[in-house]
C-alpha cells in the first residue's frame, strides 16, 4: 500500500458461531485465537487504523486485543454481518486519513497478508475490489471511502455488502488463487486437530 493512500483494516468478528458451537473469534489455531491471527494479518499487510467489530462474547474478545480501543461493538450483531459492517464503517468514518477499508473476516485463518496486500494495492477513495480464488469471489473486500455511507445504508441481515457489490460494474476481482484458497472455518472440524 502506498504511504500516501492509507487503507484501514476492518475485521468482522462479532458472530456467535452457531454452527461452529461458539464465537469463532475465540477459537484457536496453532494455539492462537482466530481474532489475533486475523488482526496480525491486517497489521502485517499495512492496514492502519484497524477496527475489530465485536458482538458475541464482546468482553472476552476485547480482552484478547493488544489495544482494546480497537474494538467496536455492533448493536444488533445477532441480526448478521450487516450490523457489523455498519458499525465498523461508522467507526472508521471518524478517522480522517484512510482512503479505503479492507474488510476481513475472522474465520479466514488461511488468508494471509500477501492476499490482503494484493487486494489493497492501488487503493483510492473510489476503489471497489475483492479477492477471488480461481475466479470465485471471496474475501477480503476493499471498499473505497466514497462508498461507505451507501454501503452502510444497504447492509442488512447476514448479507453484509453482498447485494451492494452485486450492483457494481466497477468491481475489480483480484485473483489470489496462487496465494491461498480463501477457505473459511465453518465448523470445528474445519480446524486441524479437531
Residues 6 or more apart whose CB falls under 8 angstroms from that of 142 comprise: 7, 100, 101, 102, 103, 119, 120, 123, 127, 128, 129, 130
Give the model's pLDDT for residue 193.
58
| 170 has pLDDT over 80 | yes
Question: What pLDDT sits at residue 62?
Answer: 96
pLDDT of residue 194: 47
User: In this predicted model, what pLDDT tens digit does every residue of 135-166 receive, in sequence order?
Assistant: 999 999 999 999 999 999 998 877 778 889 99
Is the pTM higher than 0.85? The answer reads yes
Mean pLDDT over 64-85 rounds to 94
Within the chain, where are the H helices? Answer: 34-44, 58-64, 81-92, 113-120, 148-154, 162-166
**pLDDT tens digits for 99-115?**
999 999 999 999 999 99
pLDDT in tens, 17-65: 888 888 999 999 999 999 999 999 999 999 999 999 999 999 999 999 9
Amino acid at each position: 500500500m502506498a504511504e500516501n493512500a492509507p487503507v484501514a483494516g476492518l475485521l468482522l468478528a462479532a458472530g456467535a458461531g452457531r454452527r461452529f458451537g461458539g464465537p469463532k473469534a475465540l477459537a484457536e489455531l496453532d494455539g492462537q485465537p482466530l481474532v489475533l491471527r486475523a488482526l496480525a494479518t491486517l497489521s502485517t499487510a499495512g492496514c492502519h487504523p484497524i477496527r475489530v467489530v465485536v458482538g458475541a462474547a464482546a468482553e472476552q474478545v476485547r480482552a484478547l486485543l493488544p489495544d482494546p480501543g480497537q474494538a467496536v461493538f455492533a448493536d444488533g450483531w445477532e441480526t448478521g454481518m450487516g450490523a457489523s459492517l455498519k458499525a465498523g464503517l461508522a467507526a472508521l468514518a471518524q478517522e480522517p486519513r484512510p482512503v479505503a477499508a479492507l474488510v476481513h473476516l475472522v474465520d479466514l485463518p488461511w488468508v494471509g497478508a500477501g492476499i490482503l496486500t494484493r487486494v489493497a494495492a492501488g487503493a483510492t477513495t473510489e476503489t471497489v475490489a475483492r479477492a477471488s480464488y480461481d475466479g470465485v469471489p471471496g474475501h477480503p473486500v476493499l471498499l473505497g471511502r466514497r462508498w461507505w455511507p451507501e454501503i452502510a445504508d444497504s447492509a442488512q441481515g447476514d448479507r453484509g455488502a453482498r447485494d451492494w457489490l452485486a450492483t457494481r460494474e466497477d468491481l475489480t476481482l483480484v485473483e489470489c488463487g496462487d496465494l491461498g484458497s480463501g477457505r473459511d472455518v465453518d465448523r470445528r472440524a474445519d480446524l486441524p486437530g479437531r
